[in-house]
Amino acid sequence: MVRVNGKETDICGISVADYLKTTSYDLRFIALEINEKIVPKSQYKETIIEDGDRIEIVSFVGGG
Amino acid sequence: MIPSKTEMQKALSCRVGEDIASRLNGSKVAVLGLGGLGSNVCIALARAGVGHLIICDFDKVDITNLNRQQYKASQIGMKKTDALKENLLEIAPYIDVITVDKKVSEENIYEICKDADVICEAFDKADNKAMLVNFVLEKMPGKYIVSASGLAGFGSMNEIRTRKMSDRFYLCGDLVSDVNDGIGLVSARVMGCASHEAQTILRILTGEEDE
- Measured CA to CA, the distance from residue B97 to residue B177 in angstroms comes to 32
- Name, in order, each residue with C-beta under 8 angstroms of B107's C-beta and a sequence gap of 6 or more: none
Instruction: Give me the pLDDT at residue B210, please.
Output: 72
Judge whether B129 is closer than 8 Å to chain A, CB to CB.
yes
Cβ separation A36–B127 shorter than 8 A: no
- Give tens-digit pLDDT for B83-102: 999 999 999 999 999 999 99
Instruction: Give me the pLDDT at residue B209, please.
Output: 76
Cβ separation B134–A31 shorter than 8 A: yes
ipTM value of the model?
A: 0.97
Cβ separation A61–B150 shorter than 8 A: yes
Is residue B24 within 8 A of residue B201, CB to CB? The reply is no
Hey, what domains does chain B have and what are their CATH numbers?
A: 5-205 (3.40.50.720)
Choose the mutation target among B146, B165, B197 for the interface with A, i.e. most A CBs under 10 Å.
B165
- Which phi-psi region, left, alpha or beta, contains residue B54 (left: φ > 0; alpha: ψ -120 to 50)? beta
CA distance B75 to chain A (A): 19
- Give tens-digit pLDDT for A3-55: 999 999 999 999 999 999 999 999 999 999 999 999 999 999 999 999 999 99
Chain B residues within 8 A of A60 when measuring between CB atoms: 126-127, 129-130, 133, 147, 149
Instruction: Give me the pLDDT at residue A32, please.
Output: 98
CA distance B149 to chain A (A): 6
Q: Between the CA atoms of A33, B120, B196 and B48, what dihedral angle is there, to the nearest 10 degrees? A: 140
Nearest partner of B124 among B196, B195, B68, judged by Cα: B68
CA distance A3 to chain B (A): 14
pTM: 0.97
